[in-house]
Structure 1
């Protein structure tokens, strides 16, 4: 079944291969370590979500372009339309991709809507609680936010593929 001009495979198992067998007995331990690391990260950044808000993008190529998925970051046009300064966006958990171009009005509108929904729900803690700035949350809102907060942005703002008719 070997075709064309290739080397005939010879099994060179003469190097005490039993000692070199790669085993995965640590699989369960690594799984637990990853889980603990995720929990530790969530506790460290709380009450912020662990992940950033990502845009809705279409997959490339004819085969997959009916599907939507999470993109790398929002375009500058989307941020501008939503009224969010580009320097502020990364500081409040919004990912930005300055290279991205909007090729359709629909995608622009969908992502602007996504940004506005996120912005309406995000609570900005004041840097100085004694002198809060415009747009910062009040003391009651901060207290409420510390009690019930969202761990993941992608769970609160899911990207769903609508069924084709």
Structure 2
């Protein structure tokens, strides 16, 4: 009797193990090699398209610990490196002129920051040639596009202000070219950083009151309706022209 009960228990365990192996139910089994036994483990099925959990905590993390006891020394080293770089680039500034751009996403677009480079349209409006811009400390970005008149105007004004302050030294002191500065450099105040001379001021986020008369006039019929009509006209222009053309041909054929 005892042997029969043991066989039935083993059969039930094996049946449960193989039936849950396809993941149909939420209960799985884990066949352990330890002591030659089969162990049942309760595991909830993973929902959605997630990776299978395989945690590995027994890593040799002590070998990967990084300390920063040289923090004070590194600070002094970075300062010395900045001074060496400024001396090597003198009398040129250590940085380039960057445009004023808005931060991406609705959450941060109320803030402004320095962008990667000026667009071709901004350089054209400021009267600066593309090949010349990179040689006089102006950063250029061929990918960025101007999406508003305000951004174009503010960066053009920034370029013109930089151009007025620019001191262009001749490559050869005895052979100056057109556009080179002819003033005495000893009397001119030199700047080591462009961002210090032309800083990017934060935007004014204060709420202001305006008069009702200063508010823009509303669009007749509503802005949404006007946009939808313009979209519909552009979409069905070809079909309407074809319909009118077919109608004219049909009338001509009747005559």
TM-score scaled by structure 1?
Answer: 0.86
CA shift digits 1:62-94 (9 cap, x unpaired)? 101111100000001000100001101111100
Which protein shows a greater Rg? 2
* Residue 12 (structure 1) shift: 5.3
Aligned partners of 1:139 and 1:58: how far apart in 2? 38
Alignment partner for residue 102 of structure 1, among 102, 123, 146? 146
TM-score scaled by structure 2?
Answer: 0.57
- The 1:44/1:63 distance shift into structure 2, 3 A limit, reads same
Name whichever structure is richer in helix by fraction. 2
Q: Which runs of 5+ in 2 are unaligned?
A: 1-43, 47-51, 208-255
Q: Aligned residue for 1:62?
A: 106
Q: Aligned residue for 2:120?
A: 76
Q: Aligned residue for 1:138?
A: 182
Partner SS for 2:131: coil
Q: Which runs of 5+ in 1 are unaligned?
A: none
- The 1:8/1:56 distance shift into structure 2, 3 A limit, reads closer
User: Which is worse superposed, 56-65 or 28-37?
Assistant: 28-37
Partner SS for 2:153: helix
Structure 2 residue 124 is the aligned partner of structure 1 residue 52: no
* Residue 22 (structure 1) shift: 2.3
8 A contact 2:110–2:203 mirrored in 1: no
- The 1:7/1:121 distance shift into structure 2, 3 A limit, reads same
- The 1:61/1:127 distance shift into structure 2, 3 A limit, reads same
Aligned length: 157
Partner SS for 2:122: helix
Aligned partners of 1:99 and 1:9: how far apart in 2? 43
* Residue 100 (structure 1) shift: 1.1
Q: Aligned residue for 1:27?
A: 71
